[in-house]
Structure 1
Amino acid sequence: MNDDFCISEDNSYNFEKHWNNAYLKTPTQSLGWYEENPIQSVDLINECNLSSDALIFNAGAGATTLINKLVAQGYSNIIVNDIAASALTELKNNLTSHKHTKIQFIVDDLTNPTELLNLKNIDLWHDRAVLHFFTDESQQLAYFNLIKKTVKVGGFVILAEFNLDGAKKCCGLNVVNYNVEMFQKGLGKEFQLLKSFNYTYIQPSGNTREYVYSLFKRAA
């Protein structure tokens, strides 16, 4: 898949419309960020040793397969967020079994949140391929402030974004490339780095994208 499949004709378009169009116009399994098996995220989550009823927040989830994986492992308290309602509709349709699981779906903007401001006591914040789309400092500040407001002491944060050797655009949008030091600066000293690694992701098209994965814990 060509990452430029949904380029806007100008720079003033609506991001909600942009991402809704991405999911409405392209089959989920053909999207450049689709993972059939998000093993890196699952492994990092398992390292947190969370209880089955821990509050897990998936930021900018899209139509991720991660939720099915978490439900299968017995996690029962999950909040799924995206700016695109079409993405969350697709995710709901793809859930195989969740009748004993509390899953809350929130359509909201991570950089200009409304309903997300009501969140609190999150045990785990998970973000794969979302933060790197926030190219303005004001967006980045709002995003990290939301983490600090909602993740509890002792809670965990997983950030997985394009690394410094990674792509400079995705889905027609510019991105910010990250390393662990940049994550740490955004989160602040109260978050302790537990683990990080680089990972080469293979897109459905066969092209590759370079990521950096990180796991932080909020200190007392």
Structure 2
Amino acid sequence: MTGERERHWRTVYTDKQPNAVSWYQPTPEQSLLALDRFGAEPGQSLIDIGGGASTLVDALLARGWGDVTVLDIAAPALAAAQARLGVASANVAWEVADITEWQPPRRYDVWHDRAVFHFLTTPEQRAAYVRALGEGLAADGLVIIATFALDGPEKCSGLAVERYDADRLAAKLGPGFTLAADWRDEHITPWGARQAFTWCVFSRTD
């Protein structure tokens, strides 16, 4: 299954420019809002799960973050981000990995995931994600996750997704994480379609 997922996303980023995919956003406004709201600071460490070619890493570097890791299953997505950043890419740790099989080498202060979790459609995949989260998040760490809302798309990039509200997402993460805030956002795709997202911030409590 991992091989199929890797081939799918590698093809997506090989066939399309980063700004031609539905999840593209010029500025990661909601992510930065969450970081600011909960006092995340440039001196902390952050990992962007499924960060791919996202511009979040650009914004973090511009803000002075010095310990940023971007993880994605598709090497071409990370290569696009590296090419865009140029020499600044040397200041970022890049991980090509499937989150459901990844073994965190360390712990991070902030775990950020915009739209990976909703692609995990089996209990086994979700359990593997929560395992990685538990191993990779600092004891007092912050979790920022965005998924399609209950009225959001049923598919993305040709793949089925799971849709969530805050209560359902909290139940999937389990008792080790406490919901600190949630809100709704409507993402506008490059071609003008609206996609409803649920954004949640959790604190670690175990």
Aligned partners of 1:12 and 1:42: how far apart in 2?
30
Q: CA RMSD in A?
A: 1.8
Match of residue 93 from structure 2: 104
Aligned partners of 1:85 and 1:63: how far apart in 2?
10
Aligned partners of 1:78 and 1:87: how far apart in 2?
16
Q: Deviation above 3 Å: which 4+ runs of structure 1?
A: none
Deviation digits for residues 77-113 of structure 1 (CA, Å, limit 9, x no counterpart) = 00100000000000101116637x7310000111122
SS of aligned partner of 2:33: helix
**143, 152, 157: which one pairs with 2:138?**
152
SS of aligned partner of 1:140: helix
Q: Is the contact between residue 148 and residue 187 of structure 1 (CA under 8 Å) also seen in structure 2?
A: no
Match of residue 42 from structure 1: 32
Q: Is the contact between residue 190 and residue 218 of structure 1 (CA under 8 Å) also seen in structure 2?
A: yes
Q: Is residue 2:201 matched to residue 1:215?
A: yes
Aligned partners of 1:82 and 1:13: how far apart in 2?
14
Superposition deviation, residue 68 in structure 1: 0.3
Match of residue 193 from structure 1: 179
Stretches of structure 2 lacking an aligned partner (at least 5 in a row) = none
Match of residue 79 from structure 1: 69
Aligned partners of 1:121 and 1:34: how far apart in 2?
28
Stretches of structure 1 lacking an aligned partner (at least 5 in a row) = 1-10
Q: Is the contact between residue 198 and residue 211 of structure 1 (CA under 8 Å) also seen in structure 2?
A: yes
Q: Which amino acid aligns with 1:91?
A: A
Aligned partners of 1:27 and 1:89: how far apart in 2?
12
| Shift in CA distance, 140/12, structure 1 to aligned 2, threshold 3 Å | closer
Q: Is residue 2:48 matched to residue 1:58?
A: yes
Aligned partners of 1:216 and 1:138: how far apart in 2?
22
Aligned partners of 2:86 and 2:10: how far apart in 1?
23
Q: Which amino acid aligns with 2:188?
A: I
Aligned residues: 206
Aligned partners of 1:102 and 1:186: how far apart in 2?
33
SS of aligned partner of 1:79: strand
Aligned partners of 2:135 and 2:168: how far apart in 1?
19
Q: Is residue 2:169 matched to residue 1:183?
A: yes
| Shift in CA distance, 176/72, structure 1 to aligned 2, threshold 3 Å | same
Deviation digits for residues 103-143 of structure 1 (CA, Å, limit 9, x no counterpart) = 10000111122xxx143221000000111111111001100
Deviates more, 1:61-70 or 1:178-187: 178-187
SS of aligned partner of 1:145: helix
Superposition deviation, residue 48 in structure 1: 2.8
Q: Is the contact between residue 149 and residue 165 of structure 2 (CA under 8 Å) also seen in structure 1?
A: yes
SS of aligned partner of 1:98: helix
SS of aligned partner of 2:88: coil
Give me the identity figure in percent: 31
